[in-house]
Amino acid sequence: MGEPEARQKAEILDGAKLQHAVQRIRGSRDELLAILERLVGYATVSPPARNTAVAQDFLANELEAAGFGISRWELYPGDPVVVGIKPGARPDSCRSLILNGHMDVAEVGKPGEWLGDPFKLHVDGDWAVGRGTADMKGALAAALLAIRILKDEGILLGGNLQFQSAVGEEAGEAGTRSITERGLADGYDYAVVMDTSNLAIQGQGGVITGWLTVQSPQVHHDGMRASMLHAGGGVFGASAIEKMAKLIGCLQELERHWAVVKQYPGFPLGVTTINPAVIEGGRHAAFVADSCRLWITVHVYPDEDYQAVTREIEEHIRYAAMADPWLREHPPTFQWGGRSMIEDRGEIFPSLELDRQHPGLDCLAGCHEEAAGRKPEISMSPSVTDAGWLAEAGVPAAIYGPGLLSEAHGVNEGVSVAELLTFAESLLRFIAVWCNSPKTEGREDQ
């Protein structure tokens, strides 16, 4: 950083105030747990969803108290998306930042299997238990603490800071996608998706679901089956279920091919899978099945475009269908993606390929090291998050949040309180440093 840039940064960022804020956050265990207890107390389970409005009210009030202007809309009735924006003092010259999280949590399963009420925070030493503590209300609580202390300590930000609290992430619903579609993420310099990563800085692969349909134009009685199977039967017909079984085999062949020819650093071979998750077909036992639908889940690597992968699948299946006399005349159809696993039985999570040379990642890693006393792991998430939607909207992004993935969605889900405090400190440092860093034209200057 050149001398003029350093002087400009120093004029905004008061180092003494930052150090005082860091000391305060390190002693804020009780304040952090109070916020987390409040968030866990909201039973924002998805599915069934449509239950986050009161929790989002609480979060919006916290943001407003910290100087954020609020935008809010309903993704679905009872599930609002909340976006808070805190305008920077020098938005044209200082870098901007998005913090992204989701308010919904995974299903509880059988509450009797839990040691206590899943929606009442239980703290035992360093371990805080409750639904969503790891995924990802712990991160939301720590982030709210960080911005509260930044406000209280009078730390000014040069660039704009945006806080996104999406909904529907657990059910593949398009909460974050709706933010990008409204243009609210446009022009931001970096984004941190605060989802579960055990404080590693991560990218991710992508996921898309799809439906394959085999449909016969005729409906045949079960008694006609023999006429379809033998030479001289005279009926050009087939069971849609049996034809779908043939296509499932073709999908398995493609999946095995991918395991050989596709790879990406940070992932084991064979991660690009095609899972036949749900099959539906037939009328009842007195009919030959005239329709069959297969719901598949497809995983792609970070450098793959899910739309290109779906075209590859369609091409493979259509070539396979050409080798079957009946399927050649009645080829399968495809329906890809969706905006909700609940509403339209479909989802998309675009991939996120980390830019390891981006100054935002470098700054985040440095702030983590200051807070944790060690360099962060730079890796790939074995799961998926909303980060891909921000990347697809043109915002450089990384996944970085507290909690173990093995705790997410589990019975007696828990998180380390010390890790939450480390995350809160790291995030506070990153907001203060990044949003007071001058924009530069080229990477060589960054």
Domains, in order of start, for the chain:
3-205+352-445 (3.40.630.10), 211-348 (3.30.70.360)
From CA 284, how far away is CA 270, in angstroms rounded?
38
Contact (Cβ atoms closer than 8 angstroms) between residue 33 and residue 121: yes
Single out the residue of 434, 436, 424, 433 nearest to residue 140, CA to CA: 424
Mean of pLDDT over the chain: 94
Tens of pLDDT along 345-360?
999 999 999 999 999 9
Tens of pLDDT along 33-53?
999 999 999 999 999 999 999
Tens of pLDDT along 398-439?
999 999 999 999 999 999 999 999 999 999 999 999 999 999
User: What angle separates helix 15-26 from helix 138-152, to the nearest 10 degrees?
Assistant: 140
User: What is the three-class DSSP state of 201?
Assistant: strand
> Which positions are catalytic?
104, 169
State the pairing for strand pair 201-204/378-381: parallel
What one-character DSSP code corresponds to residue 222? G
Res 223: pLDDT: 85
From CA 137, how far away is CA 40, in angstroms rounded?
7
Contact (Cβ atoms closer than 8 angstroms) between residue 66 and residue 86: yes
CA 134 to chain centre: 14
Q: Is the pLDDT of residue 232 over 80?
A: no
From CA 330, how far away is CA 328, in angstroms rounded?
6
- Please give the backbone phi and psi of residue 82, each rounded to the nearest 5 degrees, phi first: -120, 130
Res 231: pLDDT: 64
Tokens of 279: 């099959």
Q: What is the mean pLDDT of residues 111-127?
A: 96
Q: Is the pLDDT of residue 123 over 60?
A: yes
Res 445: pLDDT: 41
Q: What is the mean pLDDT of residues 299-319?
A: 97
Res 11: pLDDT: 52
Band (228; pLDDT cuts 50, 70, 90):
confident
Single out the residue of 66, 46, 37, 70 nearest to residue 137, CA to CA: 37
Contact (Cβ atoms closer than 8 angstroms) between residue 169 and residue 258: no
User: What is the three-class DSSP state of 246?
Assistant: helix
Band (443; pLDDT cuts 50, 70, 90):
very low
From CA 341, how far away is CA 173, in angstroms rounded?
7
The position carrying tokens 């034809």 is: 243
